Amino acid sequence: MDKFVQIEKVGMTFDTKQGKYIALRDIDLTIRKGEFVSLIGHSGCGKSTLLNLIAGLTRPTSGVLLCANRAIDGPGPERAVVFQNHSLLPWLTCFENVYLAVESVFAAKEPKARLKARTTQALELVGLGHAMHKYPGEISGGMKQRVGIARALAMEPKVLLMDEPFGALDALTRARLQDELMKICEATHATTVMVTHDVDEAVLLSDRIVMMTNGPAATIGEILAVDLPRPRDRLALAHDAKYMDYRSAVIEFLYAKQSHPLAA
């Protein structure tokens, strides 16, 4: 399955009070199965819009999106989303939050004990076995985000979509979660699309980095294939020449070719 997610001639126009706003135009992108793709660009470049289009949360005004050769016509558990602000339900425990997802996907074909086992397994995968029965209000931001990831992974999605999953975390927690995410993706061979504005994060995690031009009417500027062997180690890569090249290529794109809209 070489073309797992296909995005063909997709455009997105919003109707606003000031008239039509073209957010995205002419997006063409194909994602392979098991690939890790990052979407990077300045704020307002429509990278989150593109992710929502793949999720099916918004419908494109033109073009077609396919997942495993089927048109994406709405959101669903086969394309699980890890939301920017974790979006856990505060009145449910971590376990119940994940269980809600597991239940909606597997309840039809599996007994309750199996559903519970799946939930526990997902939480243990992100290292939260000990905090399963706590409420989101009782745990740290990093832990909440891990529950969000566990919830998404527990659904065994075809594609894992992440909207700046670590954006709200401090640098140390972020690094630890990036390492964990790399391990999880390698273990599960998840096809992943991640929105980020962190250059290091993009280079460290991605197989390809999709760099987007500035909005309005944003589109894909360049695509950079990151050819670094896995498993990757952030300490070893810190002085790796190839890593530095990739890093400067992204920075070059962001700050020279697409200088920040406010600076322009």
Partner 1 sequence: MTAITSCEAPAIEKVGAGGPAKLQLPSPPAATPAPAHLTGPSSTESDAAVMRPALGIIRPYRSLLAAMRPALGIILPPVVGLALLIGIWQLATMNGGSIPTPGKTWEAAVKLFSDPFYRNGPNDQGIGWNILSSLQRVGIGFGIAALIGIPAGFLLGRFATLSRMASPIISLLRPVSPLAWLPIGLLVFKKADPAATWTIFICSIWPMIMNTAQGVMRVPQDYLNVARVLNLSEWKIVTKILFPSVLPYMLTGIRLSIGTAWLVIVAAEMLTGGVGIGFWVWDEWNNLKVEHIIIAIFVIGIVGLILEQTLLLLAKRLRMES
**Interface with partner 1 (CB under 8 A):** 55, 57, 74-77, 79-81, 83, 85, 87, 89-92, 100-101, 104-105, 155
What's the closest the beta carbon of residue 104 comes to partner 1, in angstroms? 5
Of residues 75 and 142, the one with the C-beta less far from partner 1: 75
Of residues 153 and 224, the one with the C-beta less far from partner 1: 153
Euclidean distance between the first and final Cα of the chain, in Å? 42
Of residues 152 and 226, the one with the C-beta less far from partner 1: 152
Of residues 48 and 178, the one with the C-beta less far from partner 1: 48
What's the closest the beta carbon of residue 224 comes to partner 1, in angstroms? 29
Of residues 101 and 126, the one with the C-beta less far from partner 1: 101
What's the closest the beta carbon of residue 42 comes to partner 1, in angstroms? 23
What's the closest the beta carbon of residue 96 comes to partner 1, in angstroms? 9
What's the closest the beta carbon of residue 218 comes to partner 1, in angstroms? 22
List, in order, residues 6 or more apart from 73 with CB less than 8 Å away: 56, 59
